[in-house]
Each structure stands twice: as C-alpha cells, then as structure tokens.
Structure 1
C-alpha cells in the first residue's frame, strides 16, 4: 500500500464546521497539522471513528464509512491513479485498529474527570454511560483485532517457512 499524506491527529477537535443559511453543516477546515506525515490513511480513519462515534456505531458502520471515504477520495483523484485499493484500505484499518484504539483508550480518563465535575447528576450519569460504552467497545476491538492480526501473521510466517505460497496444513 502506497504511503500518502495523513493528518496524524484526526479527531473532532481538529475539525471545524460551518452551517450555511439552509441549515446544512459542511466541513470548513481541518486544523493542527503538526503530526502530519506520509503514512497509512487507516490511522486517521481509526482515530476519527473511535473518537467521534459511539462504540456500537463504529463497530456497525466502520466498513461502510471506509467505503464512503474511498469513494470521496476516488472523486478527488479523478483520472489519476489511486494510491491503494479499497481492499487494502479495509485491511489496513483492521491491522491498525488495535493500536489506534489503545491510543484512544489513553484519552478516556480526562473524559471521566470532566464528566465527574458536571453538577447535573442526570447528565453526568448519561455521559459516564456513553464513555463506558465507548471504552468497552474499544477494548473488545483491541482484543478481537489483535488476535485476528496475530493469527494472520502466524499463518503467513508458517507459509513462508514452508517455502511455498499456497502451503496447506
């Protein structure tokens, strides 16, 4: 998969939105490019989906969101060659999600701290429930995709040790 320019810290606080007169909301700007790099776009997508969506929404819709992103990219690229396939992007998402989710988990404690300062007990309870749901889904995905990726790595290594690409056991 070809490396492309990536934001490096793509989450809701680095996206600025503008509402037009008709009430439609459009992305006005992306900010804070100090971690921009040549890398894999799956890192940006994992961080964006993990921070902006509930855990269950992310788990249910990540694939269609990746497909939608790929469609937008294809439109922008036009007649130029795409730097990677949709399948490569989906696989890189699956490969990156354990690390990307872990990085988001480390940002959860400040969310709890902020929620606990809320004087409205009903709001506080709802916020903590939302944070817990996000945390549980992130941890589930860390374990699930880590085990999946480790299995694929071991299978690939076994085939390599066999010396043939279609080694069957």
Structure 2
C-alpha cells in the first residue's frame, strides 16, 4: 500500500569465487494521488528506526533472559533522502519462508506461532520500558509518536475518507445480502466519527502499554515449514506503523483480518492463553512484574474489539477479491477515494462474491461476533 517491494540480485566475486545474494527492497512509490509524501517519509522513518534502534534493544532484553531474538528480516541498508527512501532487507525466500494463502484463513498451528511472536515483541518492549528512567518508550524513540492516524487537516480528511469508504462498502454489501439491517444502520451512524473512534482505541492506558506492530495481518508475515508441512517459524514484516498501544489492538487486528471464524471462535481462549504464557515468561525472565492478569487480558481484548472490526472492514476487499481486482492505494486514499471505491464496488461485488463461503466465515461471522459482544449495538 505505502511502498513498492521488489528484489535485487547481487552477483559478486569474493576470494576468487563467484557468489550471489538476493535482497528485498522497499521503495517509495512516489505516487501522485495516494499518501502525501511527508506521510510516506514518516513511514520509512518509523520502519528504519525500528530495525536500527528499537529491534537491537529488544533483542538485548530477550537474549539476556535466555530467549531468541525477535523474528524479523535482517536489516541491511537504508536511505532516508526525501522521494528516494528505500530499505534493503535480507531475502527470506532462500530460507524457505513464504506467505500463507490469505483466502484460507490461518489454522491453529499458524495462529499459535503468531501468538508467541506477538507476545515476544510486546513483552520485550514492556521490559525495556521498565528499565527507562521515565518508563516511556516514546521519549526514547520519538518516531513512535508519529502515526498516520494522528494527522490533522487535509491529511486527517484523507484517512477519514478511507475508513468511511470502507464502512460505505460494507453497508451496500449488507443491504444486498439482507438480514443485517441493524448492523448497516449502526455503520451508517458511525461513519463520520470512525477515525476518532480508532484513535481512542490506540491511546495507551496503563498497564496495557507495549510496542505494537500496528499492521499485524496475514500479508505482513511469512512462515517457514518443516518437511511434513507443519509451520515451524514465523517472521513479522512491515514495521512501518509501530506504535505504543494496547497489545489487544494487535491481537484483535490479527484475529479479525487473518483467522476465519471456524478457527477463531472455538479456540480463542486457548490462543489468548498461548499468548499470555509466552508474554509472562519473557516478563519474568526480564526481571519485571507481570503487568496484567489473564482475566484482565480477556477484558482488554473485548474492549478493543472495535479496533478489530474497523480493520476487518478495511481488509475485507483484499481478502475476498482476486488480487487483480483489489483496490489500489489511489482508490482507497486518493482525493476521489469515495467515488473510486463506489466504482470498484459496482465492478467487483457480484452475486458470486456475495454467495462465497468467505463472505460468511471472514466477514459476516465477524459482524455476528461484534453484535454478540455488544460492540455493535
């Protein structure tokens, strides 16, 4: 959405031997009708700071407690010159890492790996925070204060239109399907204040203050598999939206964008338990006091479900529609976003789409969960 991602192959001679290496490179796309350049620049700044400043500190916390480093690609090189921003990262493909099919929704084995890795990121940042003089990560890493959701003026209008357009898409779909009139009405009534609602959800309140990934969904993670096909390791990618917030925002974002209801519903308690077990072990190994109980985590997860709903609605087109037909950054965030999304909806939300099993397990069941939890009233 915010970058062009490509690969670079390097052929070189070393010690008289011919060698080659490959890297993944993220580049500023310099689009005229999507994100303002200062926002693009900010996103690169945040990700570069994560790899060069924050991740090494988190790794120090983890290794000192006897744990492995956080699982992210190896940082190689970056440039922050305006309009020429780029980041070189190690290519994970030669090691067998690949993306999970987003249409399927991740199964239990994949989800538990993600739970553990989210917990490692959150817990190591919490331990690091307890060691700071003022217990404030934002003071130590000012780029964490910058957030695309925190913009004002025309930039705020851009993101309000993006979110409102996603709600409008959902309303049209629900009216076509029928049976969700109350949900559609609720969305219509909450369209204009949806950005302010999300801002409230990401405002950190003790004791739920950790470094969050911010964009933790299927397309921002890669998995490596054993010979029998079971997932053995996960790598979290795209750290452009890292922020200090409640860990429940990352959890909700992931569960409602990347896990279908037939896996999420019966296993939610075991998934949260898996997360909490890893989180607690790292906190204790770091010599800190566990900041919240399992029951408090459950309640916090419930309190942040609205955040999961918002981004499930935004991610819905990318899950349901063939990649060739998914909206572009210009469609979603450009000046004429609402009109372009309306055109996209007319072209791609067909009767076949509405009858797809994914409509139930990935979208309608999410809305049912929100109604049952009282998020949608």
Q: Please report the TM-score for the alignment, with normalisation by the length of structure 1.
A: 0.71
- Label 1:107 to 1:76 Cα distance change in 2 as closer, same or farther (>3 A): same
Residue in structure 2 matched with residue 139 of structure 1 by the alignment? 367
Offset, 1:132: 2.5
The equivalences for 1:75-86 within 5 A come to 75-77=281-283, 78=285, 79-86=287-294
Residue in structure 1 matched with residue 251 of structure 2 by the alignment? 45
Offset, 1:115: 8.2
Instruction: State the alpha-carbon separation in 2 of the partners of residues 133 and 13 from structure 1.
Output: 18
Give the one of 181, 192, 214 matched to 1:8.
Answer: 214
Runs (5+) with no aligned partner, structure 2: 1-206, 326-351
Which shows bigger deviation, 58-67 or 98-107?
A: 98-107
Instruction: State the alpha-carbon separation in 1 of the partners of residues 300 and 213 from structure 2.
Output: 16
Runs (5+) with no aligned partner, structure 1: 118-123, 151-169
Instruction: State the alpha-carbon separation in 2 of the partners of residues 25 and 133 from structure 1.
Output: 23
Offset, 1:143: 1.9
Which shows bigger deviation, 136-145 or 34-43?
A: 136-145
**Deviations 1:90-142, CA, capped at 9 Å, x for gaps:** 1111111133123212221233331897xxxxxx88x9212332211111122
Indicate conservation of the 8 Å contact 1:11/1:51, yes or no. yes
Residue in structure 2 matched with residue 161 of structure 1 by the alignment? none
Tell me the SS of whatever aligns to 2:304.
helix
Instruction: State the alpha-carbon separation in 2 of the partners of residues 8 and 143 from structure 1.
Output: 24
Instruction: State the alpha-carbon separation in 1 of the partners of residues 274 and 300 from structure 2.
Output: 16
Indicate conservation of the 8 Å contact 2:257/2:316, yes or no. no
Residue in structure 2 matched with residue 113 of structure 1 by the alignment? 321
**Deviations 1:4-45, CA, capped at 9 Å, x for gaps:** 111111111111212245654222421111111111011111
Give the one of 298, 301, 310 matched to 1:102.
Answer: 310
RMSD value over aligned CA atoms? Answer: 2.7
Indicate conservation of the 8 Å contact 2:255/2:308, yes or no. no
Instruction: State the alpha-carbon separation in 1 of the partners of residues 316 and 301 from structure 2.
Output: 21
Equivalent pairs counted in the alignment come to: 142
Indicate conservation of the 8 Å contact 1:98/1:145, yes or no. no
Instruction: State the alpha-carbon separation in 2 of the partners of residues 133 and 22 from structure 1.
Output: 27
Residue in structure 2 matched with residue 30 of structure 1 by the alignment? 236
Indicate conservation of the 8 Å contact 2:252/2:304, yes or no. yes
